[in-house]
Amino acid sequence: MPKVTVVLRQEDLDALNLAEKTVVIINVLSTTSLIAQRLADGANEVHLLRPHQLPGPLLDNSPPMNLMQGGACGTALRKSSEALHVYTAALVNAPAVVQRIAAAHDSPIVLVCAGSDGQTNLLDIFTAGYICCELLALEPLRWQLSDSAIVAQAVHNQFRDSPWDCLLSSQTGRALGDTQAQISAKNLTQIGTLDVVPTLVGNCLRA
């Protein structure tokens, strides 16, 4: 029975052996939503730059939509390079990621909430909980949840009917200021608007 584990911060990946595991990186309010959108919009691949990194010779000819700062998500992806499979997920593409995992993998699953600046992010945890709940809904006897996955499942169940309320309950959500920022953030709490599964191939992400 494959185990599903949730890592609450990308910093906690350092203690894990990810070989022979499937890893899903979650960074809803930043990188993973944008990766899914860019691939859905037609980018062949997306390269994540390290902090303060400028495009080098190999990337100079890449269209701008193919390049983006990686932040905590980029760090998590680099730490996960030894994993069997690596995907990125946000709420906008979470159902597609669930279907890919359910259809293709019997390896242990590690859901990584990238967070920011060493802090956890409630919406990332909600998204991990959504993935756990949907995997169990498809095949309840197939998956074993770790304690951290049960915590994420509980967060999801608390806000099941409104991811937006989950965001507003978080420190990040309470800090949202102007109306435009709220509109942009609310769009990222829509579930299943994009049918794309960003997959780490070498040093880039492809659909």
pLDDT the model gives residue 68: 80
Give the domain ranges of the chain: 3-206
Q: What is the pLDDT of residues 36-85, one digit of tens each?
A: 999 999 999 999 887 656 555 444 455 556 888 888 999 999 999 999 99
Provide the residue type at 166 as one letter.
C
Q: Could you please report the per-residue DSSP string of 64-78?
A: GGGEEE-HHHHHHHH
Rounded distance, CA 133 to CA 13, Å? 23
| Nearby residues of 179 by Cβ (< 8 Å), 6 or more positions away | none
pLDDT the model gives residue 79: 95
Provide the residue type at 53 as one letter.
Q
pLDDT the model gives residue 53: 61
pLDDT the model gives residue 15: 86
pLDDT the model gives residue 28: 96
pLDDT < 50 positions in the chain? 57-60
Strands (E), 29-71: 47-49, 67-69
Rounded distance, CA 49 to CA 136, Å? 35
Assigned token pair, 38: 């860019």
* pTM greater than 0.85: yes
Long-range contacts of the stretch 59-65 (C-beta < 8 A, 24+) = 65/38, 65/41
pLDDT the model gives residue 2: 92
Hunting for tokens 């100079």 — which residue is that?
60
Hunting for tokens 């579930």 — which residue is that?
191
CATH architecture of 3-206: Alpha-Beta Complex (3.90)
pLDDT the model gives residue 174: 84
pLDDT the model gives residue 177: 67
pLDDT the model gives residue 62: 52
Strands (E), 35-131: 47-49, 67-69, 85-89, 109-113
Check residue 61 and give left, alpha or beta (phi > 0: left; psi -120 to 50: alpha): alpha
